[in-house]
Amino acid sequence: MFDSFEFSRGTLCISLRNQIIIAVMKRAIPFGEQVDISSDDSDVDDVKPDLDIDHVINTKFVIQQPLNEFSEDELIRTSQMYQEYMQKLPVPSHHGSVIPFTSWMGLAASLKRLYGQPLHYLTNIQMKQWDQVRIGTHDEDVPLDTIVHPCKAEATIWAIEEVNRCTCSHLYLAKLWQTNPRHHTFIDPIVPKLQTLSK
């Protein structure tokens, strides 16, 4: 079994029998953000690799282990840790304010920022699917908040989130992750500090 685990800024650290495994959960660059690419080679000579860091990384850590190299047991353990972590997060009971939005994924991103909480992997997948089903409709370009009231939309997301946090099987997650090598793009890097809640 694993000794400990920690989620931090898009990174899952697992300590397993005194061996540390780091899985870096990379996120795609959000649509609309500018990326500068230069073909100028003038700065190439200025770049010097840090051999000490490379040595530490190569000898102590397994970084970005490809999904097909994870054993089924490792995927199951990782999904179990993820699901247990998500179950500990309380769904916000008070909703902040009316949030204008144009897409489900946009509203989900706003909720994550507003409440400082991640959304479950399955909730993020659902938001993407709901945005995709609008493609090709006559009102595809109409902001979604003019079709669905923002309060109802937010309540819907939190209801789905509660179901996914409370009822999702880690075995089901492991199967999904095994078939989707880019599953980490739908795992949020937001890590609120868990507080002991009085019952």
pLDDT in tens, 134-162: 999 999 999 999 999 999 999 999 999 99
Q: Between the CA of residue 72 and those of 79, 81, 129, 157, what are the distances in Å?
A: 11, 14, 27, 31
pLDDT in tens, 35-57: 444 444 444 444 344 444 344 33
Between 182 and 199, the more confident residue is 182
pLDDT in tens, 161-180: 999 999 999 999 999 998 88
Whether 60 has a pLDDT exceeding 50, the answer reads: no
Whether 115 has a pLDDT exceeding 50, the answer reads: yes
Identify the CATH class of 4-32+51-186.
Answer: mainly alpha
Confidence of residue 199 (pLDDT cuts 50, 70, 90): very low
Whether 195 has a pLDDT exceeding 50, the answer reads: yes
Cβ burial, residue 13 (10 Å; 0-12/13-18/19+): middle
pLDDT at 170: 95
Three-state SS sequence of 93-145: CCCCCCCCCCCHHHHHHHHHHHHCCCCCHHHHHHHHHHHHHCCCCCCCCCCHH
Choose the weakest-confidence range: 15-19, 86-90, 153-157: 15-19
Q: Between the CA of residue 101 and those of 93, 98, 151, 178, what are the distances in Å?
A: 21, 10, 11, 33
Angle between helices 170-179 and 72-88 (to 10 degrees): 130
Model pTM greater than 0.95? Answer: no
pLDDT at 184: 85
Domains of the chain, by residue range, sit at 4-32+51-186
Lookup: tokens for 183 = 């599953």
Choose the weakest-confidence range: 2-11, 53-62, 104-113, 147-156: 53-62
